[in-house]
């Protein structure tokens, strides 16, 4: 027998759309189900000014197919040369929703990120003054720190001192992957939230490495031990409003994933809602899916919950295509290695 549930139309609070031919192909995969998304600015070159954000937003809107209703929420890429007044003007106009902090070298196209955090303090102080959120890729990049420890070390060495030095700054810890990340969010009652990805609820590091390297499960932050995956599932399904969905859906063409130095990222835009429904059902928490996917994020960002709805129906397994075609080559869809019986209807 089929089963249905209806929730407010979800939003994605961490999304990569890329540009050009890939943007044209992947945007409909998000816009089909999601009403809004925080758009990552790590293009080449990165989106660092209000003018660049406006131009990128225009390219996104131009790529929307007829009949699709989708609002890109733009971000600025924080550099050590970012102008606080440009940030404030872009936010005040409604053009830009947040600023993104990448530690230099932490992930894809992050070479222009921050090395000396004291040099961005004027921007952070301005953001605290105007109530503008800072989205943080929370990993250190020190060569002597093990890749599986980068998030925990970042919290102690960078994030906690940064937040103490800038009272009132609203921070989103993006794509948390560890028990330490969960615990840190829980220990702070105000001005701190965290996004959790679809794929980190499903895979641990064994999925990447056991039985041969699986490049389409390689992401940054990299998936951790099983104990951390379980901590993320508990947080996502808890009903705690400090945790909300940010898919970090990150398309790369297959040649760029399946290479001697493969790109990091999992493309999950197409099947995220099916996967989430399965995960929340497994955790006996379907009644909390709307909070995680549709309600907690808008509350943190000070935006209204969507008045539109989507309906999910459980029935026969959904047959998603393994790849989508782009003008630059195929992009492989994340495979959760479990039947997906929930679909948007």
Burial zone of 91 (CB within 10 Å; 0-12 exposed, 13-18 middle, 19+ buried): buried
| The dihedral sign for the CA sequence 219, 324, 41, 180 | negative
DSSP string across 78-124: --TT--HHHHHHHHHTTSEEEEEE-BTTSSTT-TTSBS-GGGGHHHH
Distance between CA atoms of residues 208 and 224, nearest Å: 10
Enumerate the active-site residues.
248
Structure tokens belonging to residue 154: 């970042």
Can you give the length of the chain in residues?
A: 345
Identify the three-state secondary structure at position 33: coil
Torsion of CA 231, 331, 249, 230, to 10 degrees: -10
Q: What is the pLDDT along the chain (345 residues), one digit of tens a residue?
A: 469 999 999 999 999 999 999 999 999 999 999 999 999 999 999 999 999 999 999 999 999 999 999 999 999 999 999 999 999 999 999 999 999 999 887 777 677 789 898 999 999 999 999 999 999 999 999 999 999 999 999 999 999 999 999 999 999 999 999 999 999 999 998 999 999 999 999 999 999 999 999 999 999 999 999 999 999 999 999 999 999 999 999 999 999 999 999 999 999 999 999 999 999 999 999 999 999 999 999 999 999 999 999 999 999 999 999 999 999 999 999 999 999 999 999
Instruction: Tell me the whole-structure pTM to 2 decimals.
Output: 0.96
Distance between CA atoms of residues 204 and 16, nearest Å: 22
Torsion of CA 294, 179, 200, 144, to 10 degrees: 130
The widest CA-to-CA distance across the chain, in whole angstroms, is: 59
pLDDT for 2 equals: 60
Distance between CA atoms of residues 142 and 106, nearest Å: 10
DSSP string across 233-295: HHHHTS--TTEEE---B----HHHHSSTTPPP-BB-TTTHHHHHHHHHHHTT-GGGHHIIIII
Distance between CA atoms of residues 300 and 133, nearest Å: 9
Rounded to the nearest angstrom, the gap between the alpha carbon of residue 170 and the centroid of all alpha carbons in its chain is 17
Specify whether the backbone of 337 is left (phi greater than 0), alpha (psi in -120 to 50) or beta.
left
Residue 247: how many other CB atoms lie within 10 Å? 30
Distance between CA atoms of residues 267 and 123, nearest Å: 32
pLDDT for 104 equals: 84
pLDDT for 105 equals: 77
Question: Nearest Cα to 193, choosing from 178, 168, 176?
Answer: 176
Question: Nearest Cα to 232, choosing from 202, 190, 206?
Answer: 202
Distance between CA atoms of residues 264 and 247, nearest Å: 14
Q: What are phi and psi of 197, to 5 degrees?
A: -85, 165
pLDDT for 232 equals: 98
């Amino acid at each position: 027998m089929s089963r249905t549930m209806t929730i407010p139309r979800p939003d994605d609070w961490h999304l990569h759309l890329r540009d050009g031919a890939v943007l044209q192909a992947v945007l409909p995969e998000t816009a089909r189900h999601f009403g809004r998304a925080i758009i990552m600015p790590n293009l080449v070159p990165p989106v660092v000014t209000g003018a660049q954000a406006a131009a990128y937003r225009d390219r996104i809107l131009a790529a929307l197919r007829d009949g699709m209703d989708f609002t890109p929420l733009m971000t600025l890429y924080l550099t050590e040369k970012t102008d606080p007044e440009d940030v404030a003007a872009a936010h005040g106009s409604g053009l830009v929703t947040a600023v993104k902090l990448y530690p230099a070298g932490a992930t894809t196209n992050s070479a222009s990120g921050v090395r000396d955090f004291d040099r961005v303090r004027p921007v952070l102080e301005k953001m605290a003054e105007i109530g503008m959120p800072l989205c943080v890729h929370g990993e250190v990049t020190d060569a002597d720190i093990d890749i599986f420890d980068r998030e925990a070390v970042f919290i102690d060495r960078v994030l906690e001192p940064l937040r103490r030095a800038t009272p009132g700054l609203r921070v989103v810890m993006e794509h948390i992957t560890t028990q330490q990340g969960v615990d840190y969010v829980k220990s702070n009652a105000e001005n701190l939230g965290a996004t959790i990805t679809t794929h980190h609820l499903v895979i641990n590091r064994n999925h990447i490495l056991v039985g041969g390297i699986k490049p389409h499960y390689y992401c940054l932050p990299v998936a951790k031990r099983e104990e951390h995956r379980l901590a993320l599932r508990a947080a996502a399904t808890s009903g705690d409003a400090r945790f909300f969905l940010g898919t970090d859906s990150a398309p790369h063409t297959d040649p760029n994933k399946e290479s001697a130095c493969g790109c990091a990222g999992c493309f999950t835009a197409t099947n995220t809602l099916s996967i989430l429904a399965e995960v929340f059902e497994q955790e006996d928490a379907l009644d909390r899916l709307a909070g995680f996917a549709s309600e907690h994020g808008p509350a943190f960002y000070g935006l209204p919950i969507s008045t539109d709805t989507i309906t999910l129906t459980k029935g026969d397994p959904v047959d998603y295509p393994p790849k989508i075609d782009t003008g630059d080559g195929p992009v492989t869809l994340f495979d959760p290695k479990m039947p997906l019986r929930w679909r948007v209807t």
